[in-house]
């Protein structure tokens, strides 16, 4: 049994104002994405209750992904957002990976290494998805609900 230490958080793994897109409901969901993906990353083999912790972490992430992607897809559908196809396809691909990992964990075929690899994939995937797809949807939703482009207020870095 390997007992790897959880990774030291770096800027890539933590939520920050840099990631705000200016549409509040989406930004709050994205902050949850970071928290729950970090829980996957920091599951580690070795503790007595590891299997239960791993199962809880991947179940929580799957529930988040279903809600997160479903919410964005409803916004696109209800508002007649153009070119939603690629966006929906990316969500479906990520959700399929999450479900594969969940099945492996639930059946005892995988442990912390697979959760860690999934989390690394999620942290790599998210910034480009947010920049190219979610940001366009956020701007569209702000325009529809507030009548203008999003205004993002970020805290000043020291
Ligand atoms: Fe998103
Ligand atoms: Fe998205």
Q: What is the DSSP string of 14-82?
A: S--GGG--S-HHHHHHHHHHHHHHHHHHT--TTSTTHHHHHHHHHHHHHHHHHHHHHHHHHHHHHHT-S
User: Residue 79 C-alpha to ligand 1 middle, in angstroms?
Assistant: 16
* Cα 91 to middle of ligand 1, angstroms: 9
Residue with tokens 């988040």: 64
Query: Does residue 84 register a pLDDT over 50?
Result: yes
Ligand nearest to the CA of 73: 2
How many angstroms does the Cα of residue 129 sit away from the middle of ligand 2? 6
87 CA → ligand 2 middle, Å: 6
| Predicted model pTM | 0.87
Q: Between these two residues, 108 and 65, which has the higher pLDDT value?
A: 65
* Domain total in the chain: 1
Q: Which residues surround ligand 2, an ion (CB under 5 A)?
A: 72, 134
Tell me whether residue 16 is in a domain: no
Contacts for 52 with CB less than 8 Å, ≥ 6 apart:
none
**DSSP state for residue 8 in the 8-state scheme:** P
7 lies in a domain?
Answer: no
Q: Is residue 158 part of a domain?
A: no
Whether residue 84 is contained in a domain is answered as yes
Distance 105 CA to ligand 2 centre (A): 25
What are the pLDDT digits (tens) for 132-157? 999 999 999 999 887 766 667 677 66
Nearest in space to 117 (alpha carbons), one of 100, 141, 131: 100
Distance 14 CA to ligand 2 centre (A): 18
Q: Is residue 51 part of a domain?
A: yes
**What is the 42 CA–ligand 2 centroid distance (Å)?**
24
- Crossing angle of helices 50-79 and 85-106, in 10° steps, is 160
Tens of pLDDT, residues 47-64: 667 888 899 999 999 999
CATH of the domain at 130: 1.20.120.50
Q: How far is the CA of 81 from the centre of ligand 1 (A)?
A: 15
Would residue 3 count as lying in a domain?
A: no
55 within some domain? yes
Whose atoms come closest to the Cα of 136: which ligand? Answer: 2
Can you give the pLDDT at residue 1? 44
What domain range includes position 47?
Answer: 23-146
For residue 1, being part of any structural domain is answered with no
């Amino acid at each position: 049994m390997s007992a790897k230490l959880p990774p030291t958080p770096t800027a890539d793994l933590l939520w920050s104002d840099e990631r705000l897109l200016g549409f509040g409901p989406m930004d709050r969901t994205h902050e949850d994405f970071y928290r729950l993906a970090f829980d996957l990353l920091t599951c580690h083999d070795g503790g007595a209750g590891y299997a239960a912790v791993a199962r809880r972490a991947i179940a929580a992430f799957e529930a988040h992904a279903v809600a997160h992607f479903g919410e964005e897809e409803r916004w696109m559908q209800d508002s007649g957002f153009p070119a939603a196809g690629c966006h929906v396809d990316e969500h479906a691909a990520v959700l399929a990976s999450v479900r594969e990992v969940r099945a492996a964990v639930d059946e005892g075929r995988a442990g912390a290494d697979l959760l860690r690899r999934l989390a690394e994939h999620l942290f790599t995937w998210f910034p480009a998805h947010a920049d190219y797809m979610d940001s366009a949807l956020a701007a569209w939703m702000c325009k529809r609900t507030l009548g203008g482009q999003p205004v993002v207020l970020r805290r000043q870095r020291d």
